[in-house]
């Protein structure tokens, strides 16, 4: 799920835009996760919004949020 999306200048012509992605997420340390995904459109690219994209996520979280004991 996208948290923030700035949209596209030709989005009104691509209301039925559908994509598929494959990727992974891994815990690098107790409080750091990273992930990578590759996404492609399932419809004809033509004048579409995108051809393909790679997404990298990197985030940290507190150990307390994971339910660790004090």
**For residue range 15-70, what is the model confidence (pLDDT) as tens digits?**
777 888 999 999 999 889 999 999 988 877 666 677 888 999 998 887 665 555 54
Looking at the 3D structure of the chain, how many domains does it have? 1
Q: Is residue 57 part of a domain?
A: yes
Does residue 6 lie within any of the structural domains?
A: no
Asked whether the CA dihedral 49, 3, 36, 42 is positive or negative, the reply is negative
Whether 20 maps to a domain, the answer reads yes
Do the Cβ atoms of 37 and 60 come closer than 8 Å?
no
Token representation of residue 32:
């750091």
In a domain, 26, yes or no: yes
Evaluate whether residue 9 is within a structural domain: no
Residue 53, domain extent: 15-66
Phi and psi torsions of 12, nearest 5°: -65, -25
pTM: 0.61
Tally of residues, the chain: 70
Residue 56's pLDDT is: 92
């Amino acid at each position: 799920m996208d948290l923030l999306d700035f949209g596209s200048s030709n989005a009104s012509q691509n209301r039925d835009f559908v994509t598929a992605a494959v990727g992974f997420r891994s815990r690098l340390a107790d409080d750091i996760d990273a992930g990578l995904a590759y996404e492609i459109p399932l419809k004809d690219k033509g004048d579409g919004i995108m051809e393909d994209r790679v997404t990298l996520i990197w985030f940290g979280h507190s150990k307390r949020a994971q339910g660790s004991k004090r």
